[in-house]
Structure 1
Amino acid sequence: MEKILDEQYYDLVVNNSSLTPDLSANITPINERESILHVYRGNTTDMCTVGKYLYHNFPTFLTLTSLISLNRSGVQSIQSNPYLALFGQGVLVGFIDTGITYQHPAFLHSDGSTRIARIWDQTIQDGPPPLNYTYGTEYTAENINLALESDSPLSVVPSTDTNGHGTAVASVAAGSIDEENSFSGVVPESDLLVVKLKEAKQNLRELFLVPSEAVCYQDSDVMLAIRYLVSTASLLNRPLVICIALGSSQNGHDGEGSTNTYLDYLTQSPQIGVSCAAGNEGSNRRHYYGSVTAPPYQDEIELQISARDTMFSMEIWSNSPAVLTVEIISPLGESTQIIYPRINNCSVYTFTRSQAVVWVNNYLLEQESGSQFILIRLRNPNEGVWSFRVQNINNENYTFHSWLPSGDLISNDTYFVQSSPSTTITSPGNAEHVMTITAYNQNNDTILLNSSRGYTRTGIVKPNLAAPGFELTCAVNSGGYGSYTGTGAAAAHAAGIMAMLFEWGIVRGNYTQVTGNDISNLLMWGAQCTISSIYPNNIWGYGTIDLQNLFDKLSF
């Protein structure tokens, strides 16, 4: 079995400079900077493996950012203008998600042939993988068309989307016109590239106490998916827009991390753009912000834990130069005592009056970000309010953040008693140069309450823009249409708009070396702002996308 699929191996994302020739059999390349190192772990889980290896080497978990009217963004007015009429011709829109229902009319030409150029299904191991990859199966447009002509399409191309999220997101961005059902994606004449992600390994879930049934993906597979989309677009010699409707609350919400830096590099390259969801963590009460300005320079985080959540992790990130200790106190009054920071250390505590076990890694220095970081993993915690007492050894003012996992990795019944909706933009949406999209209700011009809010922990302005994200019409697996809500849907809408601008700039020759970062800046320049608000801000970014307003400004 390939090691990237084998549960006896951890997948660690490492810098290529740390690799030696003798490790070549255990390496899957990602890009010029990083690779996946497959480390043998055997059949048992040692929870303190986190500590033996650097925290940032472990893949993060990404969750879905949508829950199963074009005029609001100025799309229809541009498409009805005979001198513009931008429908995405010549542009590829790539989706990294739960797959796609390729038989749906939303992804077919009028003659019944597919608009999908390629599918890489990471979950199917029966067919040939893409060139230079060792797992999954690649299906070309020719394969898909043969399937569509068959009486049993799935016997020819067995790739499916059992979740429906990927199908919905792809249709919002690029669904074909269906006049009978009054439906159209933003760029109905673009071509699609699709990656169906395999779900995160069980060994990684066990290590970070993620429920086995939770839908989530590891960012090492996402990075390989990004590489696949970019190399395929280069092979086809087409501009590419990547839509990422996934997000993670792991790491320091500072724009760092392997996936973030990879996307930052790409989006500053010509003919590649990225539209990324801001996340749906704004109203879930999963973020705590502490600001301590007086002796004894101590703060107490109160976390209400539900009986539904029998295992999960949380993270505490300090802002330099603070050096923090932590003490964990159960609802029954039991304490771990004070846990001091170390370079690499894993402490295990078993609470004698309950079945609760906690693992604490108090990293003095998290290597990638340079910040102090405390990882806390709990198994079988008592229901009730737990206290996490944080104190600065330096006896001076300090600030810090704490986050719980995103999406369905934890229930909404576990939450910080005194939470903050700010600084909840998920990764990779907090990458500096990625176009990060929040969602608003286009029917009444209000932000969706669950939309994540900025800024990043280091003050980068996020989100960049707001796009319609309330009950957008989308394709569903049954062959009909439904609606999707959330920042993932809004990011798909914005990805279609980015594809329109790539058609205008690259395909039509108006700006052939335009980058995704350029497109993001153009859209921020053309955004609509309300008079009563100051822009940019941590809720709306630079305002709502308005393509008509942008072209009005460009015509000056």
Structure 2
Amino acid sequence: MKKILAAIGVLSLSLNGMQAQESSKFNFSLARQLKHSRIQNREIALFVQGDASVVREKTEALGGTFKYSAGDIHAIRIPLSGIQELGACAEIRRIESNDLQLEPLNDRMVEMNHVSEVHLGFNLPQGYQGDGVIMGIIDEGIDYTHPDFRDNSGRTRIAFLWDQANINFDAATQAQPYGYGKEYTGSQIDTSTQHYDSPTSHGTHVAGIACGNGRALNNYRGVAPKADMIVVKMNLNRPDNEFLSSLVDAVKYIFDKADSLGKPAVINISLGTYFGSHDGKDIQALAIDNLISARPGHVVVCSAGNAGNAPIHLGYEASADTQFTWMQPGTQSLHIQAWGDSGVFGNIRFSVGIDRVRPTRQSLAALPFRAGDLDPGVLKTDTLFDAQGNQLGLIESMVQYWNGAYGLDYRIYPDSIVNINGSDTSRYFWRFSSTGLGRFDAWSYDMVFDNLPDSISYPDIRNYRKPDTDQTLVSSFTCSDKVITVGSYANRNYYTNANFATTMDTSIVVGKLSSFSSKGPTRDGRIKPDITATGEWVLSCGTQAELNQLVAVEPEKVAAGRKHKRSSGTSMSSPVVAGIAALYLQKNPSADWQEVKNALLRCADQDQYTGNNLPDNDWGYGKVDAYAVVRGCTVGIEETGDSPYIDFGVYPNPASASTTFHFDLSLLRDNREPRIRITDPVGRTIKSFVLNRAAGTLEAAITDLAPGYYTVSLETDRRILRTIRLAVVR
């Protein structure tokens, strides 16, 4: 066999003499923009971590704009030509841009999630419908003329709308301090004669679930129908690809407006990207964390993702034997991103190559293996040729280090010889290979999952690692402990459509986990999603333009009355939980994100579909139960639960080395599979004890617990019976 040659050209990021020390502060997206942009005076949105006064002074000196701070993370706009000098400042630790595409993650719902009882005030001090709470919607847009977003007098319920995509603004209408888009007040919306439609009904549908008031047809009411609304329309087609930057801007905008009105706010985000570190430690996620924890009454809820049945994840322990995964090119570039912890990623070496798979199988060329921690911050460009000198493709790669993890990005641009048309494309696969020791995880849309050769015709296939459907969450803020992440289960399988006929799908099992619902855990092993809600076959508001189109060609997708449509996705389950959070904040307006999250998780329901071994990475803590949340399942007081048939205590408390739990469930009918569980402040299970009797004592060693507060729960297979706060001291 002829020797395979790889002609390799490496371009390090050393523009204007910039050193690797400065470039290592940049992420892959920013490095690519610095390399490829031909307009050095073009402004770019960045997040910078470091000393605020230094960042502001340097940004303004370089002709940029300092927008705002979220803790020690600062949002700026600056010309590309000034980024290198900015990176040279010793007081600045990290600079990130982001060109990852956000995508939308897409009645009976109020019954399935036990919302009706809360609206009616059953065994509650009053009914709760979101009065005095802001529901923030960050999405593709909203049809603000839909009747479900107007009150009984016909006035809009939207206090503010920021259209980030609108370029027809002036100083008076521009949202400040962001410097782009157009802001509308409620009174301006009321006097507008335009019918405001987004490209799809996604944002309108999401908003209807969260807080539609049912005014259009006196049904299809959302979870928090009396909440006030603040909406941000994102531009998912913006040419500069600054999606995550503009999303953080949107979060700050809503919280600032809510604070100025003196109201708590819940923000729903049914958008996301599947690329990233999946540990919630990227700079945009940390900025959102800081905005959430800035004051009580700030809550963010988001979709887990719709990749539960998509093989986009690859994760395994590398070995001395070279293992590989194929990627199939289409008409665009290929992208794969690998992440690992700093202690192990350098022990793994990676390579990318290209194989002919039809009519015969042959390796054509490959990059040399490189350590996962080699040259962080240096953008490399490699060109592969076959033995005959034909160019096969261009590969850009870069290692980045941040917050204890290394990330390795490959963007592959196949040449015309392997990418000329569909028939040619199927003849060539790109090969992602690893060797060494240590665990890594990778994500890509392009990995080959099926139709693989057998080991007789292709012996090397024994070393093939197939992608899987685990760890398919969207990344960034979705993986943060401070953000409530929501999976989906089936809401219904029939309804009356626009033509007053029945639309039915008997393959849908009501109550069962949706096949598309993305699964956890996070890359660092934390449970996500946090909770599930109805997201499959949900009827909610649609834009008038799309409803008219659907009635003409697909009337089965439109509900009777022709004001609402059917959609599915975790985009639809997230606003259910956001609405319930708003109901909780109406009752407890000074609650912070932790209290709201604890209330949701501790009161989650379990049934035949969730099973009893929760939390897990499919369901989180179970199915959200609005009534239980609002009625009073909140953790954080001495005890919760009011049953006279339960006895539960802990002594000593505070404790240092050990403590003893005493329990008595003998008079309680529902005492199957009792257990005691200890969880930390973010809801992670630290210890769990199965009780083999209905009454008695249990001594537990706690020397391995760090000092602090923990929640101790007495539970059965059906519900949480009592909770006690345990203080561990040293």
TM-score by length of 2: 0.64
Provide the rounded CA distance (Å) in 2 between the counterparts of 1:165 and 1:284: 21
CA 1:132–1:389: 2 relative to 1, 3 Å: closer
User: Residue 254 of structure 1 aligns with which residue?
Assistant: 279
Counterpart check, 1:133 vs 2:178: yes
Q: Aligned residue for 2:659?
A: none
Q: Which secondary structure state, in structure 2, belongs to the residue aligned with residue 227 of structure 1?
A: helix
1:425 and 2:456 aligned: no
Conserved in 1, the CA contact under 8 Å of 2:380 and 2:396?
yes
Q: How does 1:302-341 map to 2 (within 5 A)?
A: 302-303=326-327, 305-307=328-330, 309-322=331-344, 323=346, 324-332=348-356, 333=363, 334-340=365-371, 341=374
Give 2:57's aligned residue. Answer: 21
Q: Is the CA contact 1:7–1:203 (under 8 Å) kept in the aligned structure 2?
A: no
Structure having the larger proportion of residues in strand = 2
Q: Higher relative contact order by CA 8 Å / sep ≥ 6: 1 or 2?
A: 1
List per-residue Cα deviations over 1:312-350 (Å, max 9, x = no partner): 321011234221321112123221222342133222222
Structure 2: segments with no counterpart, 5+ residues: 1-38, 82-86, 357-362, 419-424, 452-463, 493-509, 548-562, 634-639, 643-730
Identity of aligned residues (%): 22
Q: Which amino acid aligns with 1:185?
A: G
Instruction: State the partner residue of 2:136.
Output: 94
CA distance in 2, matches of 1:552, 1:19: 45
* Structure 1 residue corresponding to 2:384, chosen from 347, 351, 365: 351
Whether 1:367 and 2:401 are equivalent positions in the alignment is yes
Equivalent residue, structure 1, for 2:84 = none
Q: Which residue of 2 aligns with 1:57?
A: 96
Q: Does 1:274 align with 2:318?
A: no
Alpha-carbon distance in structure 2 between the residues aligned to 1:55 and 1:108: 44
In the TM superposition, residue 454 of structure 1 has moved relative to its aligned partner by 0.8
Match of 1:403 in 2: 443
Letter in 2 for 1:536: P
Task: Mark the runs of 5 or more structure 1 residues left unpaired by the alignment.
Answer: 43-48, 205-216, 507-512
The CA distance in 2 between the partners of 1:356 and 1:56, in whole Å, is 33
Q: How far apart are 1:420 and its partner, in Å?
A: 1.9
Q: Deviations over 1:151-182 (max 9, x none)?
A: x335xxxx541222111111110112237363
Answer yes or no: is the 8 Å Cα contact 1:89–1:190 preserved in 2: yes
**For 1:512-527, what aligned pairs fall within 5 Å after superposition?**
513-527=590-604
Residue 81 of structure 1: CA displacement?
2.5
Contact 2:487 2:573 in 1 (8 A): yes
Given that 2:311 and 2:469 are in contact with CA atoms closer than 8 Å, whether structure 1 keeps it comes out as: yes
Larger Rg: 2
Letter of the 1:476 counterpart: G
Report the Cα distance in structure 1 between the residues aligned to 2:250 and 2:519, rounded to whole angstroms.
Answer: 27
Residue 442 (1) aligns with residue 491 (2): yes
Q: 1:264 aligns with which of 274, 289, 293?
A: 289
Amino acid at match of 2:137: F
Counterpart secondary structure, 1:379: strand
1:391 aligns with 2:435: yes
Shift of residue 226 of structure 1?
0.9
Q: Give, in angstroms, the shift of residue 95 of structure 1.
A: 0.9
The aligned length equals: 502
Query: Aligned-pair distance for 1:516?
Result: 2.1
CA apart distance, 1:14: 1.3
Secondary structure of the residue aligned to 1:326 is strand
Aligned letter for 1:375? Answer: D
- Equivalent residue for 1:123? 165
Residue pairs, 1:55-204, within 5 angstroms: 57-67=96-106, 69-81=109-121, 83-127=125-169, 128-147=173-192, 152-153=193-194, 160-178=197-215, 180=217, 182-199=219-236, 201-204=238-241
Q: Matched residues in 2 for 1:359 and 1:385: separation?
A: 14
Task: Report how far residue 360 of structure 1 moved.
Answer: 3.8
Cα shift at 1:534: 1.2
- 1:530 and 2:596 aligned: no
Whether the 8 Å contact between 1:464 and 1:542 is mirrored in structure 2 is yes
Distance 1:10 1:414, change over 3 A: farther
Deviations 1:244-283 (A, max 9, x none): 1111222210111123223323434311111111111222
RMSD (CA atoms): 2.9
Counterpart of 2:175 in 1: which secondary structure?
A: coil
Q: 1:66 to 1:338 in 2, by over 3 A?
A: closer
Letter in 2 for 1:519: V
AA of the residue aligned to 1:81: G
After superposition, give the CA deviation of every residue in 1:348-377 in whole Å (9 maximum; x if it has no partner).
Answer: 2223356543334342xx332322221100
Q: Which moved more, 1:10-19 or 1:249-258?
A: 10-19
CA gap 1:356/1:172 in 2 versus in 1, 3 angstroms: farther
Establish whether residue 455 from structure 1 lines up as the match of residue 528 from structure 2.
no
Contact 2:41 2:79 in 1 (8 A): no
- CA 1:179–1:38 in 2, change beyond 3 Å: closer, same or farther? closer
C-alpha change, 1:126 and 1:360, in structure 2 (3 Å) is closer
Q: Corresponding residue for 1:488?
A: 571
Aligned AA (1:328): V
**Cα separation, 2, equivalents of 1:163 and 1:6:** 35
